[in-house]
Amino acid sequence: MSADSELSNVLNRRQQINEALENGQEVKHTFKVVNVYTEFHEFSRKQIKEYQATFNKYDTGGDGYLDLTELKVMMEKLRAPQTHLGLKAMIAEVDEDHDGRISFREFLLIYRKAQAGELDTDSGLSELARRTEINVDEVGVGGAKTFFEAKIEQQLRTNKFHDEIREEREQLRRAEEEKLMRRQQFQQRAAIFQQN
């Protein structure tokens, strides 16, 4: 986004807020999370960088957004062409700020929704997520291993029982260590009495 358009957006937003306040309307504040690494904790840093590379590959305008044309080209190169209406529906499904294009943050929402099973299996976004997932031929077995370990970790994190089981194991381990220390202390004291 150029500095002029960014300034224009800020000034337009300020004007909307002032007009709403003058009319006695409530103004809802909008905040954007700018750190995708903290917002999308289910992905590893490496995964986010891979998604960023994919995003940048198709962001031919270099403006930080995938517009309708760029999304069309992307889907054609992924061998999953979509109709004009299909492309618009894809954008609308993740376009949280309703600007008619997909930012990198919104691009990551596609993968979050795919992991959560929130995408229709025959939708364009589902196809995009499947076709841009990790490719073992490109990243090698080590990259695939990292990818699948991160997926498993994410699934385990969402399982509330996993945390309880891990806590129980930790308590058992601590109890065993304390038992072993008491036994060693007892043996040390018993050795002192045996010497006397």
- What are 125-174's pLDDT values in tens digits? 777 777 777 554 454 545 556 666 666 665 655 555 567 777 888 999 99
- Beta strands 102-103 and 65-66: pairing type? antiparallel
Distance, in Å, from the CA atom of 129 to the CA atom of 119, rounded to the nearest integer, reads 10
Instruction: Kindly report the pTM of this predicted structure.
Output: 0.52
- What are 68-116's pLDDT values in tens digits? 899 899 888 888 888 888 888 888 888 888 888 999 888 888 888 888 8
According to the model, what pLDDT value does residue 180 have? 93
Distance, in Å, from the CA atom of 174 to the CA atom of 37, rounded to the nearest integer, reads 34
Look at 3 and 24; give whichever has higher pLDDT: 24
- What are 15-73's pLDDT values in tens digits? 888 888 888 887 766 655 567 877 888 888 888 888 899 899 999 988 989 998 998 99
According to the model, what pLDDT value does residue 132 have? 75
- What are 118-127's pLDDT values in tens digits? 877 777 777 7
Phi, psi for residue 122 in degrees, rounded to 5: -105, 15
Q: What is the DSSP string of 50-82?
A: HHHHHHHHH-TT-SSEE-HHHHHHHHHHTT---
According to the model, what pLDDT value does residue 136 have? 46
How many Å is the Cα radius of gyration of the chain?
Answer: 26
Q: Sign of the CA dihedral 99, 104, 110, 115?
A: negative
According to the model, what pLDDT value does residue 39 have? 81
According to the model, what pLDDT value does residue 34 have? 62
Look at 194 and 156; give whichever has higher pLDDT: 194
According to the model, what pLDDT value does residue 2 have? 67
